[in-house]
Amino acid sequence: MAQTPTELPEGRYGRSTSDDARTDRRLKVIGLVLGVALLAFVGWAGVSYISEQRVSGELTGFEVISDEEIDVRVAVRKQVDVVGVCTVRAQAEDGLEVGRGQIRFDEPDDSLHGSVVLRTLERATSAELTGCSAADED
């Protein structure tokens, strides 16, 4: 009686299982290296962006004083030797801009609060901080 082979002849039906395992290992290593490189780039970009921001601000509140005025309050973090400028705007109920102004922070502190009363074209219903920067960047 003839014996039937338990394994397929080498090279006859495509690649062997050892070639597949080697290819799988190689793809896993390449994927791991690319993943680590991507994470390193994202980390570097985040740290670079944060460290280059010399002035950052946050809208802390606003109060509609009348149909023509709104008081906007901002908190700022900056380097001690930097003069900061923040731009704020007021918006009407339909979203249109009805007022815009700037708050200048030139005190030698790193954490400051300031406010500005904006004159508006019509009644404002909201305020927005559009951005902060160092005065020499304007």
> What's the CA gap between 20 and 11, in Å, rounded?
13
- What number is the average pLDDT over the span 6-32? 76
Please, what sign has the CA dihedral across residues 3, 9, 13, 14? positive
List the one residue out of 135, 115, 111, 113 whose CA is nearest residue 127. Answer: 115
**pLDDT score, position 135:** 82
The amino acid that residue 33 corresponds to is: V
Check if the beta carbon of residue 71 is closer than 8 Å to that of residue 111: no
- What number is the average pLDDT over the span 120-138? 87
pLDDT tens per residue across span 36-86: 999 999 999 888 776 666 788 899 999 999 999 999 999 998 888 888 899
Specify the 3-state DSSP secondary structure of 105: strand
pLDDT at 1 over 90: no
